[in-house]
Amino acid sequence: MMRNALPGCFFFIVGPSGAGKDSLIDGARKLLPAENFIYARRVITRPAGSPGEDHEACTTEQFLARQANQEFLIAWQAHGLHYGLSAQLKQELASGRHVIANGSRAMIAQLAQQIPSLIVVEITAPAEVLMNRLVARGREKPDDVAKRLARKTQEFPSQVEVIRVTNDLTLEVGIERFVAALLTRVNLAPPSLRAVYKKIAGGVPTDSEYQELIKAIVNHEHTESALHAFLIACTHDLQLEEIISIAKARSQTVPRISWPSGMVVDKHSMGGIPGSRVTMVVIPIIAAHGLLIPKTSSRAITSAAGTADAMEVLAKVDLTPAELRACVLETNACIAWNGKLNHSILDEVMNALTRPLGLDTRSWSVASILSKKYTAGSTHVVIDIPYTSSGKVKSKEDAESLAQLFERVGQQLGLVVKAFATDGDSPIGRGIGPALEVRDVLQVLDHSPEAPSDLLEKSLFYASQILALDESVGSVQAGRKRAYELLASGAARQALDRIIDKQGRQTDYDFSNVKREAIQARAAGTIRRIDGFVISGIARTAGAPTDHLAGVDLLKSAGEQVQAGESLYLVQASDPARLALAVQAAQQDSGYRIN
């Protein structure tokens, strides 16, 4: 990089003990261009080799003599020591280099009088983080640390520019935030990192910058720590305009599929609710009606089955783009795995970073989901947003807010989007696990009296909402009537069979080796709630979704009365050892809340 032609900036780093100023400065040395930045080495009346920063050691007498000789730009005292910054730093600034100096908050006003280009960088962290770090050092007692943190800090002079960097997560993320703040301020960020650093530093990347950013992520041009910091920034603050920019940028990464019909519909669920194979009922209903609905779905991540896992019990789901297109053109629909389609590479990169950090990426997901629908050629999309206190979306209010976001972003992409908040406090259907969930789906499509009523009702709701988008249907009420007719006549089941045959019918699974064991109520009472995430965990312990036959078969529903010793559900697995582990987990916590 070329050195600045204008005088450089003086970055004065301040912050409380425990904020990690020295660590961030040390880490920045590897990332900031050496020809543009210089690191001020403080003169301290502390012996050489003492713990802490690399400093120039001198005696008190030597320091005072140098101070009298005006060798310091500024000098101050703290903790019984003298500190000074060399006056030669002015020459570095005049040459265009940027100075990074660790200093005292109390010296800012004095420094501002000498350095017009002064920028204060305040390194901060929440009080509890500072407390933990200082106590871990072992230099002070917890009470003394608490008193230190309780001290009021001096206000910054109003005329001084202040940049704040929060260092509350990993050191790597803190360093990226620090570097981003500096490089963005002096416009020295590398092109491949410009948009990432802009966002990390609190700015808002433009449409074109987000386009370059998405391309760079796909091409693995960013470091993992930079992406961590970027995603955390997105979690804390992602404006509507940015979500739209991300959605548009993602939509341009792959060509949009063209279909012969002017109306192409899709249904998507935010997921997180065990069972709930609504999609596998809705798709054949819509296909039987005559609308195109190319459905691609994911495999399970934390649940006992994803739509692709369940469909794989019946048919091949690992379709190429050509196979998917052929299936849709012949049957009006598909239910395929999205691993080879759309933006799966981008999502794999992002998910690998977001899941370990436990980040709330719902806003990012809106852009991800809708861009996939757009590139799949969809024109109309219905979204299911289940909410539960233990799920991705915690409350009805959160779900409704997210629904509005889906609709607004969809409109900007030229899509008709209808999103609905639904209660996800209990599993939908009786089966939890691929084969058991397929059983529930087939019972609904076969119009069986044994079909789970909740799965039927939710499927009819979403089918009617999609069908209402068709002008020939006209209303949700007419859509529900049409959906029910297609179920009752067997047309929807026939549509599913056509899809299965075109994708590649799987051979029947052998249930003869499946072992089952009942989990019983320990006390009598009313089932107030079924914790679907506990049940899903038991099913996964039994082997689902890898073992398609493993899972949990619910025998009792919320609201029912049970007696002590009465069976609540069956746990099943192909592997006796996995079954034993699942039963052990169920005995520790059945997931049923009875009182």
Q: Where is the binding site, in residues?
A: 15-22
* Nearest alpha-carbon partner for 281 in 98, 444, 110: 444
Residues linked to residue 428 through DSSP beta bridges, in sequence order: 275
Could you list the beta-strand ranges (E) of 359-466: 380-387, 416-423, 431-432
Which SS3 state, helix, strand or coil, does residue 233 take? helix
Strand locations in 458-530, DSSP E?
A: 515-520, 525-530
- Of residues 280, 342, 340, 341, the one with CA closest to residue 315: 280
Residues facing 485 on adjacent strands: none
Tokens of 66: 């140098």
For residue 470, give the nearest of 373, 374, 377, 380 by alpha carbon.
380
Token pair recorded at residue 16: 């409380």
The strand pairing partners of 400, in sequence order, are none
Residue type at 455 in one-letter notation? L
**Quick one: which of 397, 366, 395, 361 has its CA closest to 381?**
366
Sheet holding 265-269, edge to edge: 265-269, 380-387, 416-423
Question: Own/partner pairs for 196-205, CB < 8 Å, 24+ apart?
Answer: 196/222, 196/226, 196/227, 196/229, 196/230, 197/226, 199/230, 199/233, 199/234, 200/176, 200/226, 200/229, 200/230, 200/233, 201/163, 201/177, 202/233, 202/237, 204/239, 204/241, 204/242, 205/242, 205/245
For the chain, the 3-state helix, strand and coil shares in percent, each to the nearest 5, are 45, 20, 35
Which residue in this structure is represented by tokens 């052929």? Answer: 326
Binding residues for ATP: 15-22
Run of H or E including 365: helix 362-375
Give the DSSP letter string of 473-486: T-SHHHHHHHHHHH
| Spatial contact of 458 and 428, defined as CB atoms under 8 Å apart | yes
Calpha distance 317→315 (Å, rounded) = 6
Task: State whether the Cα torsion 205-211-215-218 is positive or negative.
Answer: positive
Residue reference for tokens 């003599």: 65
